[in-house]
Amino acid sequence: MLKSLLKIIPARFRKSSPLIHVVRLDGPIVAERGLRPTLSGKGLEPVLTKAFRKGIAGVALAINCPGGSPVQSAIIARRIRELAAEHKVPVYAFCEDVAASGGYWLACVADEIYADENSIVGSIGVISMGFGFPEAIKKLGVERRVHTAGDNKSQLDPFQPEKPEEVARLEGLLSEMHESFKAMVRERRAGKLKGEEKELFSGLYWRGEKAQALGLTDGVGHLNDVLRRKFGEKVQIKVISAASGWGLRRIGMANPSDLPEAALDALERRAWWSRFGL
């Protein structure tokens, strides 16, 4: 009899199953470059605006990110919080292999954070990486010629020996950025952090179980399992992605002139992941 009544009742009056939209945040966080999509404010805008809407039960962020630009991290995080407030939608973060540095920054935008017991979580710090070639350029017999208007325009030139005052200024900038990162974590994890700040904000990272003990996450669990536990077995989980374009990119081909840049991009991405042994 119940089935018969359900057939009579119009679909719009039936109680629908909870719907969760999933946004994948994969790879390092870098500004938009060329035609290749990146984990950036600009690159994610179409996906985020599509994911957030009234009537859904929540948005889940599936995060696998080793970090990247603090500016892009902040832009993405702010946009997610704006959309969550606008549509009154809760946000859940699920850390996969890595949610470190900027990846953990993104996790902190969520109302609740979960990770696998072996996820890498944390690395609340700021880093500047580079190389120096002052001796190599001498051995090659190359003369470095740099002309500037402004005494500090060529600071930290990789072909010149480091100057203490320039290193001190860079460390000051990194420290200020670190303070911004720490302030965001304190705000978003207010009342949940259990470890000493000296350790939590040292740049260290931990397995998922330890991260939960330190208050960096809210539990150990996977996206599907946690969402079913929260919303019931009939919860609908839908991955939201940007609309695909046409042309060579759609069928996996690239302009030959893009290949050198693509190779460098692959090396850069490999360097980000290798910091965590992956």
The structure tokens listed for 250 are 């759609």
The pLDDT of 97-125, averaged and rounded, is: 95
What gap in Å lies between CA 121 and CA 102, rounded to an integer? 11
Note if 40 is an active site residue. Answer: no
Q: What is the pLDDT of residues 208-260, one digit of tens each?
A: 999 999 999 999 999 999 999 999 999 999 999 876 543 434 444 445 545 55
Q: Which two tokens mark 265? A: 């991009």
Residue 97 has pLDDT above 50, yes or no: yes
Q: What is the mean pLDDT of residues 10-36?
A: 77
pLDDT at 143: 75
Residue 75 has pLDDT above 80, yes or no: yes
More confident residue, 151 or 244: 151
Mean pLDDT of the region 132-153: 76
| DSSP β-bridge partners for residue 122 | 100, 205
Q: Are 56 and 96 in contact, with CB atoms under 8 Å apart?
A: no
Q: Rounded to whole angstroms, how far apart are CA atoms 64 and 95? A: 6
- According to the model, what pLDDT value does residue 64 have? 95
Report the distance separating Cα 25 and Cα 95, nearest Å: 10
Residue with token string 């809760």: 90
Residue 147 in this model has a pLDDT that exceeds 80: no
Tokens of 189: 């994890």
Q: What angle do CA 44, 268, 100 make, to 5 degrees?
A: 60
What is d(CA 275, CA 204) in angstroms, rounded to the nearest whole number? 12
User: What's the burial of 113, exposed, middle or buried (CB within 10 Å: 0-12/13-18/19+)?
Assistant: buried
Distance CA 81, CA 235 (A): 23
153 is catalytic: yes
Beta strands in 27-154 (DSSP E): 58-65, 91-100, 112-115, 120-122
**DSSP, res 257:** G
Task: Give the whole-number percent of the chain exceeding pLDDT 70.
Answer: 80
- Per the residue annotation, which of 69, 101, 119, 123 is the catalytic one? 101
Q: What is the DSSP string of 172-208?
A: HHHHHHHHHHHHHHHHHTTTT--S-HHHHTTT-EEEH
Tell me: pLDDT of 90 over 90. Answer: yes
Q: What average pLDDT does range 35-64 have in this prediction?
A: 90
Domain 15-125+181-274: give its CATH superfamily.
2-enoyl-CoA Hydratase; Chain A, domain 1 (3.90.226.10)
Has residue 196 got a pLDDT over 50?
yes
The residue annotated as part of the active site, out of 16, 42, 128, 153, is: 153
Which one, of 19, 174, 169, 181, lies nearest residue 89 by Cα?
A: 19
Average pLDDT, the chain: 83
Residue 272 has pLDDT above 50, yes or no: yes
The span from the CA of 126 to the CA of 143, in Å, is: 34
Q: What is the pLDDT of residue 53?
A: 93
Nearest Cα to Cα of residue 51 among 237, 240, 238: 240
Yes or no: say if 23 and 47 are a contact pair by the CB < 8 Å rule: yes
